[in-house]
Amino acid sequence: MAEFPRKSDLPVSLARRYLEPGPIVLISSAWQGKANIMTLGWHVMLEFSPSLVGCMISGGNHSFEMIRQSGECVINLPTTLLTDTLVGIGNTSGAEVDKFSRFGLTAAPARRVKAPLIRECHAHFECRLYDDAMVDRYNFFIFEIVKAQAAATPKHPETLHYTGDGVFMVAGKIVSRRGLFRPEMLYP
């Protein structure tokens, strides 16, 4: 992939446009000179301001301790162009392979955290650990999104949504019902 999607800054409160639909995301992290990537479908928006997102990161992932120790990560949004790549990432361990190298992905510096961005992705959400109260019991990390960037086009890229058992749903088609919403439920 010779060209990368060009990203623009986005208000952090608009991260929900990309995360609330529930896509598989790629979580990048860095700790003690190494970087890693994992796939994640178990995430949830929790608040607009601060922009909070909760992530259930299983302790079996090599990324778990890297994220816990560094207190940071980047949530990257892959599109269907990266389908085989994300399946490969979810089926290998960072304990054994350098996933950026193995999958030909390009790390780029983030602005507010030390974890790298994955340039091939459509959007990046730089995260700092906000509350670890639920990590011991549920492996549930609450992050604050401190910086958001997304490609301007397409506005709603095709994303992958995992159902288990190797099968994904694809979302991309858009349906608007703005006319049926109360004005205070819409953006100004």
Q: How far is the CB of 176 from its own copies (least distance, A)?
A: 5
C-beta closer to its own copies: residue 56 or 97: 56
C-beta closer to its own copies: residue 28 or 39: 39
Q: How far is the CB of 97 from its own copies (least distance, A)?
A: 13
Q: How far is the CB of 6 from its own copies (least distance, A)?
A: 21
Taking only Cα atoms into account, the Rg of the chain, rounded to an integer number of angstroms, comes to 16
Buried/exposed code over 39-74 (b: 16+ C-beta within 10 A; e: otherwise): bbbebeeeeeeebbbbbebeeebbbbebbbebbbbb
Q: By C-alpha distance, which of 69, 82, 85, 72 is closest to 28?
A: 72
What own/partner pairs with CB < 8 Å and gap ≥ 24 does 164-170 have? 168/24, 168/83, 170/80
Q: How far is the CB of 123 from its own copies (least distance, A)?
A: 12
C-beta closer to its own copies: residue 31 or 130: 130
What is the contact surface with its own copies in residues (CB under 8 A)? 14, 16-18, 20-23, 41-47, 52, 54, 56, 80, 83-84, 87-88, 90-91, 131, 133-134, 137-138, 140, 142, 156, 159-182, 185-187
Distance CA 176, CA 178 (A): 6
C-beta closer to its own copies: residue 34 or 138: 138
Whether the CB-CB separation of 23 and 77 falls below 8 Å is answered with yes
Distance CA 117, CA 113 (A): 10
C-beta closer to its own copies: residue 23 or 116: 23
Q: How far is the CB of 40 from its own copies (least distance, A)?
A: 10
